[in-house]
A and B are shown apart, each in its own frame.
Chain A
Amino acid sequence: MLAPFQYEFFRHGFLAALLVGALCGLVGVYVVLRRMSYIGHGLAHALFGGAVLSSVVHVNFYIGAGIWALVAASLIHLIAYRRLVGADAAIGVVTTSSFAIGVAIVSTYRRFTRNIEAALFGNILGITRADLLVIAVIALVVLVTILMIRRQLLFSTFDPEVAAAYGISTGWTDFYFVILLAVTVVASTKILGVTLVAAAIVIPPVIARYLTRSFHSLLVVSPLIGALCGGVGMLLSFYLDISSAAMIVLTSAALFLVVEINLLLRKGVAS
Chain B
Amino acid sequence: MKSDHPHSKDPPKAQGSLHPHGLAESPAPGPREAPLLEVNHLTSRYGEVCALEDVSLRIWPGQFVAVIGPNGGGKTTLLRTMLGALRPHQGSVTLKGRPIRRDNLGKIGYVPQLEAIDWTFPITVEELLLMGLYRKNHWLRRIGKEDRKRLHQMMERLNLSGLGKRHIRELSGGQQQAAFLGRALMGEPDLILLDEPTAGLDIRSRDDVIHFLHEINHQGVAIVLTAHDLNWVAAHLPWVICLNRRVIAEGPPQQVLNPQVLQETYRGEMVVFQHDGMVMIGERPHFPASQA
Contacts and interface: CB of A to CB of B under 8 A. Distances in A.
Interface of A: 33, 148, 151-152, 154-155, 157-159, 161-168, 209, 212-218
Contacts of A212: 122
B121 A148 contact: no
Contacts of B166: 213
Contacts of B165: 214
B213 interface: no
Most A CB atoms within 10 A — which of B108, B122, B127? Answer: B122
Contacts of B131: 151, 154-155, 158-159, 166
B56 interface: no
B127 A161 contact: no
A103 B108 CA distance: 53
Given A148-B140, A158-B118, A165 B123 contact: no
A213 B134 contact: no
Contact of A148 (B112, B123, B139): B139
Given A151-B134, A214-B165, A166 B187 contact: yes
Most buried by A among B110, B137, B165: B110
A159 B121 CA distance: 10
A215 B122 contact: yes
Nearest to B133: A151
Contacts of B124: 213-215
Residue with the highest number of chain A CB atoms closer than 10 Å, among B105, B123, B165: B123
A88 B212 CA distance: 42
Contacts of B110: 162, 165
Q: Chain B CB within 10 Å — which of A168, A212, A213 has the most? A: A213
7 contacts: A157-B121, A162-B85, A165-B110, A212-B122, A213-B167, A215-B124, A216-B127
Interface residues of B, number: 28
Given A161-B112, A165-B80, 19 more contacts: A33-B122, A152-B134, A157-B121, A158-B123, A159-B112, A159-B117, A161-B80, A162-B85, A162-B110, A164-B85, A165-B110, A166-B106, A167-B135, A209-B122, A213-B167, A214-B123, A215-B121, A215-B127, A216-B127
Interface of B: 80, 83-85, 102, 105-106, 108, 110, 112, 117-118, 121-124, 127, 131, 134-135, 137-140, 165-167, 187
A161 B80 CA distance: 9
B112 A167 contact: no
A167 B105 contact: yes
A33 to B, nearest CB: 6
Contact of A165 (B83, B118, B122, B127): B83
Contacts of B102: 167
